[in-house]
Each structure stands twice: as structure tokens, then as C-alpha cells.
Chains A and B, each alone.
Chain A
Amino acid sequence: MSLRVAVVGVEQTPYKQQYGTVMLEELIFTTIKSFLDRNGLSMKEIDNVVIASSDMTDGRAISSMVTGGPAGSVNRDMLNLSSSAEHAFLLGAMQIMSGQYGLTLVASWSKTSESPVSAVDRLACEPYFTRGVGLSTTTGAALEAAAYMAKHSPDRDSIMKIAVKNRENALKNPFAHLRERVDLGQLQASPVVSWPLREAELPPLSDGVCVMLLASEKQAERFAGPKAWIKGMGWATDTFWNGDRDLTVIRSLEIAAAQAYKRAGITNPLEQIDFAELQETSTFNEAIQYESLGFCEAGESVRLIEDGLVWRDGKLPVNVSGGTLSANPAFCSGFVRIAETALQVMEQAGERQLAKADVGLASSVSGFASQSGTVVILSK
């Protein structure tokens, strides 16, 4: 019943610590303008726009008011989602599946250099119980890590190797923020930020903009080269209360993956998926995602790392872009995972292109300790 939808184009800024005097509006405008020019498109040809922006990370109420214009909102339908950046992708896809539109621009961004991320985190705690505790993205990730350690006692070095892997992958990605190799010794010496997580096991904070163009089957014909067709999508929001959850699994992601796999006809992800881009909020979080996405059984992530399965030349390379540990435009990091997956499937990933990238999985998590999760499956 649903109409087919493909990603036909991706544009991103290099992610970096700060864009200094370049205003967010300018950064959005120049990224979209560059995308349109590069593809010989005019904004007039775009049916509608979906953006995802967070008022608090953008630093203004209803930030879509000012960011919408540079994203192309004027004179057309533009909707803004504030729950999570990847939700803009999901909505854009559903609009085309509905038959409402044929060519939809989806965009998100973060200029973390100008936002007090920890204050935003604190205000995202409800005022009665969690705000006083100091729950944040970092401490949320640390709670997951501590729970995983308590339950599975993984080899600590093996978990740290996830950072080694991702940072090494970033060497091939000109858009990554951190492009320096880290070895195990450096990781072991890295200071603990929130126990048990060390600094090098956590993502940096980056500025950047990411844009994708979605097309109906008919519109997709206009674009040369392989397209990244959406085969499955799933998303879910779990309970807000971390104490009510088993933090050694990401239930939101399990539910999202079940939906996406069902729609895509995937029964054995390890065999049917060629690569994955996961929004890892920490090394441990990536390990837990392997299990919640069904790449392995609970507690077996270490094996995937030690056997080389998730490395660039492995059976299921994970985060060949360098992942969130190498570039983290905070609110938009999950969206970037979908874009990187699309680039691989479209064979436009440059030096980081994988030889076999027919079917890719993108995941994202948001909220404290991965309260919400999204899974998107793209294929040639």
C-alpha cells in the first residue's frame, strides 16, 4: 500500500568544535544552497521541508522560526519536530509514502559551541525528582555502562576498543570532528568523566548541519546513480524513569528494530545487513546496541569486537564514518547516522566507502539512557 521512498542526496558540513562567527542561519543556508547547486536543483522544485530543531540547544524559543527560512520554508509546507532529529527523516518519508509530496528536503543541525549543553540536559530533567540528581546525557550513558558491567563483567579493554575502532574509521571521513587515532594505552590513561566512562569513550560536542533529500519513486528517476531506498523504519519511546528500566538493554531500540526488521523482511540481521551506523552515546552504549539490535546475544558484544566482526574489514562494519565518538552535533547525531548510511548505499562515501554496502542499518537514541530509539534500514 505504501509508496516507495528513497534518499537521493545528502549534504553535510564538516563537523567541528565551532563555526565561530558563522551564524547558525548562515550555516544552514550555505549547506542547503551548496546541496541544491551541486545537484542542479532549484528550491522551487522542492515540494516541502521537514526540519528538526530543539529550542533549547538552538538557544531560542520556537527556533524553527528563524532556522526555517534558510532551510527553505518560505512559501511552502514546513513542519518542525523537536523530539529527535531523526524523526524529521521519518516524517518526510511518511509524507511521500502517503502520496502527499514527491520531493522532500529534511534537515537538522546543532551548534553546540553556542549552547550550554549541560544546562539544557539539566532542564530536560523533570523538576520534582531527577533535576536535583544531575542526570545528563553523560551520566545517563554512565548508568548504562555501570549496569552492563555489573551484569556481564565485560573485558574493559575490549569495550574501549570500540573507541579505537571508531576513531580509526574517522581518519577516512573528511567530515569527522576528531580525526586522530587513539590507542588502547591512551584510552586507559584517559580521565574518568562519569564512572566507569573515560573521556575518550564519550563523544565530543560538535557544530554542524546535515541535509537529506527524499524522493518518491517517480521523482527518484531524475537522479543518477544508486539510491538508498527505505526498506524499514521503526521508532519507540520507553519510560522516562531510568529506575523502571533494565539499562543493560535498550528496549526502545529493540522495539524499533523489531518494527524495522519486520517491514524490511530481516530475520537474521548479521547475515542480511552489510553495515551499520549506530548513534553511540558511549563505547558501552555501542556494545549494548549490538545486542539490542540482535547482532549478538546479550553479553556477547565483546566477542563481536574481539573477533573483528564490527571493524571496517569485518562481516558487519559498524560506524565506518567514525560514529558519534568522532563527531557529535548533539541533537542531530542520529540524523547523521541515517545520512552516512545513505551515502554508503548510494556509493557516495568517498574514501570511507565500503566495497559491499547494499543494505545498511542506521540507529539513533535520544533522551537519558537511550529512552527513545529509532532504526532505519536502507538498501539499493
Chain B
Amino acid sequence: MREVAIVGIGQTKHSGKRDDTFQDLIMETTRLVLEDAQTTIDKIDAVVFSMAPDALIGTVHAERWIADTMGAQGKPCMRVNTGGVSGLSAVQVAYYHIASGMFDTVLVIGADRVGESGDAQTILNRIWDPIYERALPLNTITMLAMSAIRFMEKYGATEEHMALVSVKSHNNAMLNPNAHIRKRVTVEDVLKSRMIAYPIKLLDSCPKTSGGCALILTAKDNVKSFPNKPAWIRGIGHSSETYWMGDRLGLKLDNEHGDHADSIALTRAAWQAYKAAGIKDPRREIDVAELYAPFSNIELHAVQDVGLCDYGEAHKLLEKGWFDIDGEMPVNPSGGVLCANPIAATAMIRVAEAALQVTGRAGGHQVEKAKRALATGIGGDHQFFGAVVVEAD
């Protein structure tokens, strides 16, 4: 298979509201990635857009609207929509553009203005069955609150553990100038924050973020024409679970339905990527992970599912600082999704941050001696999972 590297990374400063239009945001993100790679749009062979529900932007098929905003009119363009994992799925689609031999250099971009999307949770209620589920009312918070309850019941974790995840993320975000939420919080602050859907509280939750992210991927032969140290994409994986959460009862953990406390599909996606990267023991061979976790409880099951610790150990190791930026296995040194969630870009930011880490470009939140990193994404109703392993020379 043709080797592919990330040679350009652009990320806006993430924030709540922005005074400019979606066009402006796309233009800024495009400019940032082209400047980072010291290249021009003319050198880009194809473009992949990440865009989750059209309603978040308020324009259907907005990918058509922004082609010329990027200066990409006339280029091959396609748009990925796998919900929250779209940004990472789009990186994989760009990877296939190059690995297939069809194109040499591909730009992948995602941006959202969730801060101005009306009520994002009202839009996200529309992902459910119109007859049975919308009226409950399900949204992405209540959905994952059920997962949190099941996780606590199954493994003995507590609300304090969730709070510890949030404290760690907020501490890390203080080191990341692009993070949306940059505020130190204590366990007590989290526990006292407003209850959204038990056991998820305000400070266990991601914000409504506006921002963008873009990457430039290129084939091995071209890597030298870009100034940045390449972050090689060594393995990719993607897998799905059933849409019906009520079927994720964990009756047979090895079966395709899984358990709503964990995610069997995240495990499959991660191991597909590990296998391609030649990784046998991720605990030893992964130096840092950027795991998609829009609520604090999700990080607890994600570290287990991707094999960075044993099942039932995540909250115990968390207490010991295992996942801190200077711990044994740093997780979300950027501050993670808890501190910035511009939906279409969020999962792409995981890959971008992983690539920044392995190439030593993460600045204040750089993890020492990071050479190989894992990035993951989650979409749908905790249903679509993707993983990417990146590595520096």
C-alpha cells in the first residue's frame, strides 16, 4: 500500500460565537493549513469535506457552497457524513484518495459554527426514530448519560471519577491556546455544576464550539516538497455498532451488539489500525492518545476499549494520574473534546493533535518523547467508531 503522511495542519482558535460567516471560517481554516504546509491551493489535487448534520450549518449540502470559498472550484471534492466521527472518517477518505494511487496531495477540512446553530441538541434529537424515540426526548446527552450509568454499575466508577477526567482535560486545555474552554476547574466545581442528565453535569460536558480544522495529506514521494516533519498514517480502522441502543445490553460481549457501557466497535476499529501499524501491545507502543470523548464518562470507557488499560481499570489508573499529560499514558493532552467541540472538525482535531504530538509541534501541551499516537472518533448514537495511528520517523 502506498504510504501516506500528514504534512500540513491548520486549526483555528476555537470559540463560542464568531461574528463571521461559515464562508469566513472555511477561508480562515484553509489559509491556516496552506500556510502551515507552505503551499497553495493549486498544489492540492482533491478535497474531502467533513460535515455532519446539514442542519448545524443551516444550508443543505453546504459542501457545494464552500468549494470556491477554498479556491477549490474545479477540483474533485467529496463530503463525508458519519456524524461525530465525520472529521476522522474524512481523513480516512483522504487517505484512500492517495493510497489508491488516484491522487498525490489531498486537503481534508471540517468546520462548524455550533455556537450559532440554534439549539444543537434539538437538531441532534432528529437523529432518532421519529415515532418511538424522539419524543422521549433523546439527545446526545441523555444517550450518553445512560452509557455512564451502565459504566458505573458495571465497573464501580463514580461521579468523582468523571469529575477527575474533566479536571484533567481542563488542566490540559490551559496549555493549548486553541482550546475553547480555558479555565481551571476542581473536582468540587464539577460535582457542584448544574446537573444536565444524571450523572452528566455541565462540567462533564463538551461546549458548543465554533471552529475549524484542516489537514494536508500527501504520498511518500512528495513528502520532501513540504517543510514540516511528516506524521505517517500507519494504520486506520472503522467499525459500527447497531443503531438500536436497547440492543447493546452486553448479553454477549463478544457479539456484534456489544454493551452500552463499552464499545466493541471502538475496540475493533482500534485493533484494525494497530494491526496495520504492526502494534501488538498498545500500552507499550502508543505514546499518547487523543480519544474522542464529548462527555467525561466516555473517556473512561474509551481508554479501556482501545486497549490502553484493562477493563475496569480506567478509573483506578485515572486516580493515580496515569492519563495525565506527564503520566504513563497521556490521554487528551489538548484538553480534548470537553474543551472544544466544533462538531464537523472535532474528530479531525484528534488526528491533527496526534500528528502535532508525534512531530514535536504540540507546543505547550507537548508530550515528551511522543513518537506514535492514537486518534479516535465516535459518531451516530455511539455507533460509528474510527481510529488512526500516526507515527513520526
Contacts and interface: CB of A to CB of B under 8 A. Distances in A.
B67 A74 contact: no
Contact of B243 (A68, A100, A125): A68
Interface stretch (A10-18, A27-35, A78-86): A78-86
B238 to A, nearest CB: 4
Interface residues of B, number: 67
B174 interface: no
Contact of B65 (A56, A120, A240, A244): A240
Contacts of A68: 240, 243, 380, 383-384
Contact of B75 (A60, A76, A237, A368): A237
Interface in B52-92: 52-55, 58-68, 72-83, 89, 92
B240 A74 contact: yes
A100 B67 contact: no
A77 B385 CA distance: 9
A80 B78 contact: no
Determine the interface band of chain A, counting residues with CB < 8 A from chain B: 35 or more
A47 to B, nearest CB: 11
Contacts of B272: 77
A65 B383 contact: yes
A61 B52 CA distance: 8
Contacts of B239: 75-77
Contacts of A206: none
B87 to A, nearest CB: 13
A264 interface: no
Nearest to A245: B73
Interface stretch (A89-97, A187-195, A293-301): A89-97
Contact of A2 (B73, B101, B127, B130): B101
A65 B380 contact: yes
Interface in A39-57: 48, 53-56
A53 B240 CA distance: 16
Contact of A61 (B80, B93, B126): B126
B61 A82 contact: yes
Contact of A78 (B93, B237, B240): B240
Given A97-B100, A237-B73, A237-B76, A120 B83 contact: no
Interface of A: 1-2, 48, 53-56, 60-62, 64-66, 68-69, 73-84, 87, 90-91, 93-95, 97-100, 120, 123-127, 233-241, 244, 251-252, 255-256, 259, 366-368, 371-372
Interface of B: 1-2, 49, 51-55, 58-68, 72-83, 89, 92-93, 95-97, 99-102, 123-124, 126-127, 129-130, 236-244, 256-257, 265, 268-269, 272, 379-381, 383-384
Shortest beta-carbon contacts, A-B, top 8: A97-B100, A83-B79, A98-B99, A2-B101, A94-B100, A61-B53, A75-B256, A237-B77
20 contacts: A54-B61, A61-B55, A64-B380, A64-B384, A75-B239, A75-B241, A76-B240, A77-B238, A79-B80, A79-B82, A83-B61, A83-B64, A95-B96, A98-B1, A126-B65, A127-B59, A233-B102, A237-B63, A240-B68, A371-B64
